[in-house]
Structure formats: structure tokens, C-alpha cells
Structure 1
Amino acid sequence: MNQFIITGRLCAAPEIKYSQEGKAVAKFNFAVNRKFKRDGEPEADFFQCVAFGKIAETFGKCNVGKGIKLLIDGEVRNNNYTDKDGVKHYGMQVIVNSFEFCESKGSTGQQQEGYSPYGRTDSDGFMNIPDGIDEELPFN
């Protein structure tokens, strides 16, 4: 089974092209933060991704751009080739089977400072809950 699930951010807006048959192809680079970081090592891994057909069209319709956080489900494939000078190049790419947005539109990945649905938060980080809302809380 070849299944690859990653969560990360787009490095730039996907490049969307159409084949001669009219099939959409979206190519993009995807950054995934490393959970454990050692001194002198990169903090993220970068993956080349490609999506075909309706999935690629969705990237275009949704104006998916740089910094958008996504969950990608796909397959890892070899992208090996020999150039015109006979030099063998090795690489990997992720073929996107599906994706999901991990943040709401316009989100920067961080909650706005002092924001809560009930008003601003206090300096101690707790939000101000208005009087009379006790009936709406599920644990009363």
C-alpha cells in the first residue's frame, strides 16, 4: 500500500496547466515542519506535489495560494530520469489523491490576539463570558 498523508503549507500558489486533452495538472511545492529539530538541520521538509483532473481544478477554483495550510492524502512516486548528457537524476513526488483545508479562509494560522466569540480576552488570557450564557453551556 502506498499512502502518504501530510499536513503543511504551500510554498507558492500552484502552477496550473492543461494538457492537450484538456485535463488540468497542478504542480506545487509543499513545506512540512519537522516535529523534532536538531541544531544545524532544516526545520522543514519540502515535497514536490502534483494533482490531476478535478483535484487540480479545485486548486484553481479555490484560489489556493502561498501559506495555505492543507492536509494532503496521496502517493509517493519515483521521479527518476536521465538527462540529455546521460546523467541519472533521482527524485520523489507526491501524487495528490485528495486534500482538505486546515484553516478557515483568510486565517494566518494564528488566532488573532485578544479574539474570542464573546469579546476580548483579559490580560491573563481568559475570555470574558457574558452573563446569562450558562444555559447554552453543555456541562452545566
Structure 2
Amino acid sequence: MLNRVILIGRLTRDPELRYTPNGVAVTTFTLAVDRPFTNQQGQREADFINIVTWRQLAETCANYLKKGRLTAVEGRIQIRNYENNEGRRVYVTEVVADNVRFLESMSKTSQGQSYPSSDDGRFTDDPFADQGKTIDISDDDLPF
């Protein structure tokens, strides 16, 4: 059996870091992921997917992710349920991430830049626009 998910999207809000009573870090955030098609009005829609990270990954996400940041998440789908204050059973579907990749440089989002989008709502900012520049590294810095 296989339960594996890979998502790329933008955070809809800053991550929320909490600690369990045993001191284990847990961070939650929501990822907006564009659907690969447009609706009847020609507009692109998105799904808003809840993400949960644990332990060191949770602390890293809380420290470095911010609202609007392009992020890749890899993990598994989990469905849990609980009884709310009204006695109703509530089901929650979320992705428990075991790998999170930051797809934009921290300086770009920390400078408060907005992310331009096209008419169909897709983001057009190219995270690889600065690729191809020469990097000055000495042979002593190489790990091989």
C-alpha cells in the first residue's frame, strides 16, 4: 500500500508553531495549490491544503516559512476525527509532511516583494531567473 503526496504551492498564512505537553514541536500551515485547469468562467481555482510538520522540521518551517512563500511539501495524507463541543463528529484531512523544500530565496520574501500574477491567477515570478551566474568558489570549499 502507498500513501504519498507531493505538493507545490504558496503559504496562505504564516506557520503556527505549538508544542505538545511532552515538548514536541508541531507546526501547521495551509498551502494554496493551483488546479491544473480553469473553471467555466475561465478562472483558475486553487485547493487549500492543511499541512502538519513535527519535531525539527516543524521548528525549521516556523522559522523560515512566511505567508506567500513558494514551497514544496512531501508527505502522507492523514484523516483524523474528533467530537466537537456540540457533540458532532468532525473529520479533518491533512498532509503530514516529512520533507519541505523552500523554493524561493529568503531575501525575496523578506524584502516584502509582491508576487505578480497573470490574468488567469497563476504566479509568473520565475524562481530560476538568476540561474547561470558564475559562482566564485575555491577548490578548498568543494566537498569532493
* TM-score, normalized by the shorter chain, greater than 0.5: yes
How far apart are the structure 2 equivalents of 1:38 and 1:44?
A: 11
Q: Which stretches of structure 1, 4 residues or more, deviate above 4 A after TM superposition?
A: 115-118
Q: Which residue of 1 aligns with 2:7?
A: 6
Q: Which residue of 2 aligns with 1:57?
A: 59
Gaps of 5+ in 2: 109-114, 116-123, 133-144
Say whether the 8 Å CA contact 2:12–2:31 is kept in structure 1: yes
Larger Rg: 1
SS of 2:38 mapped into structure 1: coil
Q: Which residue of 2 aligns with 1:29?
A: 30
> Which amino acid in 1 is paired with 2:86?
D
Question: Aligned pairs, how many?
Answer: 115
SS of 1:95 mapped into structure 2: strand
Question: Percent identity among equivalent residues?
Answer: 30
Q: Which residue of 2 aligns with 1:39?
A: 40
Q: Which residue of 2 aligns with 1:124?
A: none
What TM-score results when the alignment is normalised by the length of structure 1? 0.71
How far apart are the structure 1 equivalents of 2:80 and 2:22?
A: 23
Instruction: Answer with 75-84 or 50-59: which moved more.
Output: 75-84
SS of 1:65 mapped into structure 2: coil
How far apart are the structure 1 equivalents of 2:13 and 2:80?
A: 21
Higher strand share: 2
> Which amino acid in 1 is paired with 2:59?
E
Change (3 A) 1:83 1:102: same
How far apart are the structure 2 equivalents of 1:92 and 1:60?
A: 21
Change (3 A) 1:53 1:38: same
- CA root-mean-square deviation: 2.5
C-alpha displacement at 1:111, in angstroms?
Answer: 4.6
